[in-house]
Amino acid sequence: MSSDGDSHPPGTIVTLHRLESRPDLNGKTALLTSKVLDSGRHEAFVLLTNASESRPEGINVFEKNFTINTVERQGRASAWNELGCRFMHTGNYTNGLDAFECALEIASTNTSECRIEGCDALCLMVWLGLRMNSEGIEFKGERTAAQIVKFGLRNIFAEVLENKNVVTETAKVDMGAGRIPSRDSPVLLLSIVEETSERYFFYDEMQKVVNECTMKKMTNKGNNEDANNAISTEDAENLPETSSNGQTNVSGEE
């Protein structure tokens, strides 16, 4: 996602209207990337309801064909996270990561107002990187899926990692994802192992908080999918990433 210094900041939410070539989109909500093309059209993505598994539809639309929806920061950050999820679910990981980073940037301008959206963006970035690793896919360029995972996990567990009473100089720290007995789905995990003790923490995605596991070992009896089987971010085979379908020009009334 890019910005060319247009007056509309990235993540501006708009309502589409007076589209002739795509009347089905009139009244729909879209998110501007703030990229203005030579034709004068704005690059945008349509936010369709009940379509989280569908590839985001990119359109190029003139300013006369949308009205600004003056939502607060939370709405803009949430829209970027929503768009990122749709990209991720359809295999477009580069655009998915860009969207999560836009959400995180908006949230970082006011952490008290957008704490939940910022937490969601970090968490989604981690799951995106882990999903890429499990599929053997890597980003093109300098950044790697493992770096994205590490960045997200370090920020999610920052309060614990910065506590010198918990993480000593001799502690072995490991982060990843796995299962714990109290959750049906995998969770993001942090393990801190000392010579005589082990402590485990997990991120509660519903409450947006880090909790410590009270059991000595996160082992679900009869199930080997525990913390020792956390998803690794290393040794992934590099395969090409699924590409985007690109944008479609839509026409409005003259």
Name the band, by pLDDT with cuts 50, 70 and 90, for residue 135. very high
Architecture of domain 73-156: Alpha Horseshoe (1.25)
Tokens of 18: 């007076």
Count CB-CB contacts under 10 A for residue 254. 6
Identify the band that residue 211 occupies on the pLDDT scale cut at 50, 70 and 90: very high
Band of pLDDT at residue 142, cut at 50, 70 and 90: confident
Number of neighbouring beta carbons within 10 Å of residue 186: 18
Model confidence at 174: pLDDT above 90: yes
According to the model, what pLDDT value does residue 49 have? 62
CA 101 – CA 32 distance, rounded (Å): 15
Cα–Cα–Cα angle for 197, 200, 203, rounded to 5 degrees: 165
pLDDT of residue 138: 94
Amino acid at 145: A
18 — pLDDT class (breaks 50, 70, 90): very high
pLDDT at 141: 82
Q: Which of 104, 131, 105, 123 is nearest to 203 (CA)?
A: 123
Assign 51 a pLDDT band (cuts: 50, 70, 90): low
Calculate mean pLDDT across residues 136-165.
94
Q: Position 87: which residue type?
A: F
Q: What is the pLDDT of residue 173?
A: 96
Phi, psi of 33 (to 5 degrees): -85, -5
